[in-house]
Amino acid sequence: MKIEDIKIGETYDCKVEEDMDYEFQGKVEKVYEHSALVEIVKNDPKDDPNKMELNNKIVVSAKKMSKAK
């Protein structure tokens, strides 16, 4: 996804290489040059310990984000 298409407050499907083992949905809080800070709003229950460790927030590359289904 292009960084200019990412909007604050919208929810996206996200995947990261580290920290979270499964895909999750994140609500964008801040947009950076090539990534976005998202609040994890929906995730696989197996990732709950990771989500807690991250305080429900993670930075995701724009390339690893797509419109939520």
**Domain CATH number, residue 29:** 2.30.30
Q: Cα torsion for 68, 44, 9, 33, to the nearest 10°? A: -90
Count the domains in the chain: 1
pLDDT tens-digit series, residues 32-68: 999 999 999 999 999 999 999 999 999 999 999 999 9
pTM of the model: 0.93
pLDDT, mean over the chain: 97
Domain extent for 13: 3-67
Residue 50's SS3 state is helix
pLDDT tens-digit series, residues 7-40: 999 999 999 999 999 999 999 999 999 999 999 9
Residue 41, token pair as written in the block = 């709003």
What is the Cα–Cα distance from 61 to 36, expressed in whole angstroms? 7
